[in-house]
Structure 1
Amino acid sequence: MEQVASYLCLFLAALIPLLLLKLSSRGGSGGGRRRLPPGPSRLPVIGSLHHFLFVRSPLAHHAMADLARRHGAPPLMYLRLGEVGLAVASSPAAAREVMRAHAAAFASRPWIPSMRPAMERGAVGLVFAPHGALWRQLRRVSVLELLSARRVRSFRRVREDEARRLVAATPPGGAINVGVRLAALTADVTMRAVVGDRFDRREEFLRAIKEGSRLVTGFSLGDLFPSSRLVRFFSGTAGRVMDLHRKMFELMDCAIRQHEERRAAMASTPDGAVKEEDEDILGVLLRIHREGGLEVPLTMDIVKSLILDLFSGGGDTSASTLEWAMSELMRNPGAMEKAQAEVRSKLQGKPSVTEDDLHDLKYLKLVIKQTLRLQPVLPLLLPRESTEDRKVMGYDVPKGTMVLVNAWAISRDSGCWDDADAFKPERFEDGKIDFKGTDFEFIPFGAGRRMCPGMTFAQGIMELVLASLLYHFEWKLPAGMEPNELDMTEKMGMAVRRKNDLCLRAVVRVPVPTPP
């Protein structure tokens, strides 16, 4: 999205003769007898793309909210981006229509043209599986086996080990890059939960994940003009995606070999057999693959794609949320003091935070909720696609339309929230609003059939790590910086992160335990 202006200037210059022929119809008119949702005017060929030259922010969720405000703040807005029809839900009512009232019609994901060749070769996990038998099966396996509350509890030792490592590796008095440390921690927790150990090619794998994030969230004209071979040729994104797909699957093959060798070595020792309830996620998938008997066979390509889904969606999003939580607490010293007082009062000098301590940390949970409201790391959630013509809120949404839900705009809507832009964890004290998919003014994990199945996994990491950081350390901003001077500019990626590093100085208040 940040490259939109430069791309469009070049593209518009080439299309000026055609654009001067006529203006397309405005707002909800056009489309034959269809009554499309209101939105920006559209030009021939490029549709509504020219409006993005004048938005205040290059970030997609800000730009969509800005366009909606300029056109009367409709709860459902329609744009045409090149050849792609796009509907954006920007109110709780519109989100409810998309994710609940018309759930089946909007339960599929669009296959972006640059990613389609890889998907057609088997790179389809839970995230992008079309709504149907395969998706239902993968959802059932994920909810009941991979990410069930019981399975997540079984990874408790992994989370506690990595949290202690993070605390022990934090240099007292020195400045640290909080985001980098958190990203490494969540990657290691996810890696150990998925494959049962640290991956020998960890750094190579994380670089590939980062490159995948860049490709998926980048701006590609080929995705907006899929019928144009010329545009696709000059874009070149599809080729890069295929190269990355082959690289990722090769790394997954290596991870699976490492996993099976470790399991074989364990099995050769007395009492070395792994109990089913103690299996790591890859072990569960390989067992299901071997047992067979499913409606849709769980092929090894699907196993690899599911693992990649977990890495892409698990570690990065939790790390970003934790970094935003620390940022918000540094900007709001009163909230920081209250959260630290709660943790230290409950733990009473214990050597480290364990998951048994988390139940009573009510204010810390409110801090995480408030962070998710102000800084949802997937601000537009994941795109959906209408699989049939539907009438939503009195408007026609044609089959094949991409649908986005602007969770960021909804969670900052002054019609839903008092003092909407303020960081106030106390607003959640009454427990009336939660992020579990029934309150559509607060949907950081989505809602309905495509709601994120990894919510419990993410909560476990975020609560333990934040509690550990607040328990052991006082945190200081760089010398001379006031709390209200901390920059909160966002940067787009697989998850929305801080544009600038969060560098803080840690002062030990509770002695740091020896790393495991």
Structure 2
Amino acid sequence: MEPFSSFEGFLPSSISCILLVMFICVKWISFDKKNRKNIPPSPRKLPIIGNFHQLGSNPNHNLHIMSQKYGPVMLLHLGSIPTLVASSAEAAHEIMKTHDLSFCSRPNLLVPNILFYGSKSISFAPYGEYWRQLKSLVVLKLLSNTRVKSYQKVRENEIVHMIQMLQESCGTTIDMGSTFASLTNNIISRVALGKKLDGPKYRKLLRVFVDTFNVFNVGSYIPWLSWVDRVIGTVGRAEKIAKEFDEFLERIIEEHVNKENWEDARSNEGEDFVDVLLDLQKHNTSDNNLCRDSLKALIMEAFAAGTDTTYATLEWAMSELIKNSRVMKKLQEEVTEIAQGRDMISEEDLEKMPYLKAVIKETLRLHPPFSLLLPRKSMQDVKLMGYDIAAGTQVFINAWAIGRDPALWEEPNEFRPERLLYDSINYQGLQFEWIPFGVGRRSCPGIQFSVPVMELALANIVYKFDLSLPGIKNEDLDMSEAFGVTIHRKCSLIVSVIPRFS
């Protein structure tokens, strides 16, 4: 009977152990399910480089194609950096409105750190008190409605100068990209510095500065390989152009400080950006901690961003008009009717030109200057469209793909300004199917400065001239893109101009 008695004692003990193990397993499964992360769909990655090989030479196009397989929200790994790519208006809405505060910082990138004095510019500064003060300063002091309107004569004067140059070039071919670059350079240098600084040396300096952003730097994405950037010269070239621009800006600032020398050189433009910033620096307060490097970063940013994006959009708009004769004819009819025989279109005329405004907006839909917008960084863990996004994730919003989404736009690849004629879409709105300048805290503050330049330049050119392509039909114009921080035409827009009126 002893073996049987031992078994009887063992049975309750075994059942207790089994129940305990089952209880632990259930709790573990429940805990694991509760804490398991639901990460967005992600393509397979390679060792070290991650998904970089899938971006190709046209990341906006390739990411759009990938989104059709993996969905409007997908997670890539660029080197060791987790990167969220949003390709739908719904995803953009959640990032730039619903969770705007969580996604409003910037990643730490090598080139902006070098060129903008440790990313002290409004575009690249991380979110925080410094950035908030800088944004308030720019919006209220540099780009307020009153100040933008005060530069009207500068805009009109430079556009008259451009029209005269085009008239003198009738019968020859003209590089419209260079023409638009010169126009925007002249306007911004007069507004920011008080005098025109156009010329081959200055244009080359600015071109090299902008091109530096298009150079991939290894260390920002694979930190343990950051030494490669020095070996291949990326750091050296960035430091060289930063030093040249810094010396240029120091001369400008010193000339402003020593007004006696500056007044003879400037063109009586009134108070320019440097004047405003120096005055703010002079009356430095706890709410306005504007150091010398911050001042220079803001001026540098005005040149780089203001010039490059504005002239790129103008060149794309002119390309679309040349390629689409129906749209060109309709726009010429509108501006001719409003001009009523006057020599030039004025800024006061622009509000009477809805089709012109629709042409600009349709251009920005198809050709947003920053096709992926500028990268953001999540500052905390976020639940986005059902997915778990970890703090520190880099975020790209594919504005190019959203602007060509067939679920949002009928015949999305066609240039049809009528779709935006009298539409509620505007530059300050919260529509997410049209986001060429971004939305929310990190939206571009220079919109209201650049739009009058684009509208006035385009209106006067199509009013004064007929444009054609030498050697090919207008409808055969190549619209290929050259990818960069700003999307430009791959080939220069070379045209012949003919006066519309004798």
TM bucket, shorter chain: 0.7 to 0.9
| 1:190 alignment partner, one of 188, 198, 201 | 188
Q: For 1:102-141, list aligned pairs within 5 A.
A: 102-116=99-113, 121-122=117-118, 124-141=120-137
Matched with 1:351 is 343
The answer as to whether partners of 2:114 and 2:242 remain within 8 angstroms in 1 is: no
Are 1:294 and 2:286 matched, yes or no? yes
| Match runs of 1:75-474 below 5 Å | 75-116=72-113, 121-122=117-118, 124-170=120-166, 171-199=169-197, 203-262=200-259, 266=263, 278-474=270-466
Gaps of 5+ in 2: 1-34
The corresponding residue for 2:475 is 484
Between stretches 239-248 and 87-96, larger displacement belongs to 239-248
Task: Answer whether contact 2:280 2:288 (CA < 8 A) is retained.
Answer: no
Partner of 1:62: 61
The question of whether the paired residues in 2 share the 8 Å contact of 1:222 and 1:237 is answered with no
* Maintained 8 Å contact 1:75/1:94: yes
CA distance in 2, matches of 1:291, 1:202: 35
8 A Cα contact 1:342 1:361, kept in partner: yes
Deviations 1:1-27 (A, max 9, x none): xxxxxxxxxxxxxxxxxxxxxxxxxxx
Deviations 1:35-86 (A, max 9, x none): 221121123322223434xx6xx112112112222x24x1211100111111
**TM-score normalised to structure 2 length:** 0.88
Q: What is the aligned partner in structure 2 of residue 20 from structure 1?
A: none
C-alpha distance in 2 between matches for 1:116 and 1:430: 42
SS in 1 for 2:224: coil
Residue identity in the other structure for 1:42: K
Paired amino acid for 2:39? L
Q: CA deviation at 1:453?
A: 0.5
- Cα shift at 1:436: 2.4
The 5 Å alignment of 1:35-74 reads 35-52=38-55, 58-69=57-68, 71-72=69-70, 74=71
Structure 1 residue 294: Cα displacement: 3.4
User: How many residue pairs end up in the alignment?
Assistant: 465
Cα pair distance change 1:252/1:203, threshold 3 Å: farther
Q: By how many angstroms is 1:324 displaced?
A: 0.5
Deviation sequence 1:327-385 (CA, Å, 0-9, x none): 00111101001101111111111122211221111111111011010111111111111
Structure 1: runs of 5 or more not aligned: 1-31, 512-516
How far apart are the structure 1 equivalents of 2:279 and 2:340? Answer: 44
SS at match of 2:457: helix
Aligned to 1:25: none
Q: Aligned Cα RMSD in Å?
A: 2.2
- For residue 264 of structure 1, report the CA deviation from its aligned partner: 6.0
Query: CA–CA distance in 2 between the matches of 1:136 and 1:234?
Result: 37
Residue deviations 1:248-301 (CA, integer Å, cap 9, x gap): 11110112233344566649xxxx999xxx421111111101011133510111
Q: CA deviation at 1:228?
A: 2.4
The 8 Å contact of residues 381 and 405 in structure 1, kept in 2 or not, is answered as yes
CA contact (8 A) 2:464 2:499 kept: yes
Tell me if structure 2 keeps the 8 A contact 1:317–1:377: yes
How many angstroms does 1:233 deviate by? 4.0
Measured in 2, the distance between the counterparts of 1:83 and 1:114 equals 18
The percent of aligned pairs where both chains have the same amino acid is 37
**Which stretch shifts more, 217-226 or 157-166?**
217-226
Q: Is the 8 A contact 1:176 1:505 kept in 2?
A: yes
Aligned partner of 1:12 in structure 2 is none
Query: Out of 489, 497, 502, which is 1:506 matched to?
Result: 497
Structure 1 pair 148/509, CA: closer, same or farther in 2 (3 Å)? same
In 1, Cα distance between equivalents of 2:199 and 2:290: 26
| Contact 1:213–1:493 (CA under 8 A) maintained in structure 2 | no
Aligned with 2:388: secondary structure?
strand
Structure 1 residues 425 and 61 mapped into 2: Cα distance closer, same or farther (>3 Å)? same
Question: 1:419-476 CA deviation, whole Å, 9 max, x = no partner?
Answer: 1111110001232223324100001010000010000001110011001101111112
SS in 1 for 2:438: coil
Residue 235 to residue 100, structure 1, CA distance change in 2 (3 Å)? farther
| Paired residues of 1:325 and 1:367 also in contact (CA < 8 A) | yes
Query: Which amino acid in 1 is paired with 2:475?
Result: N
Q: Distance in 1 between matches of 2:109 and 2:289?
A: 25
Instruction: Report the CA distance between 1:208 and its aligned residue.
Output: 2.6
d(CA) in 2 for partners of 1:273, 1:187 = 18
Structure 2 residue aligned with 1:22: none
CA separation of 1:77 and 1:288: change in aligned 2, threshold 3 A: same
Asked if the contact 1:226–1:232 (Cα under 8 Å) also holds between the matched residues in 2, the reply is: no
> Relative to structure 1, is the Cα distance of residues 411 and 273 closer, same or farther in structure 2, using a 3 angstrom cutoff?
closer
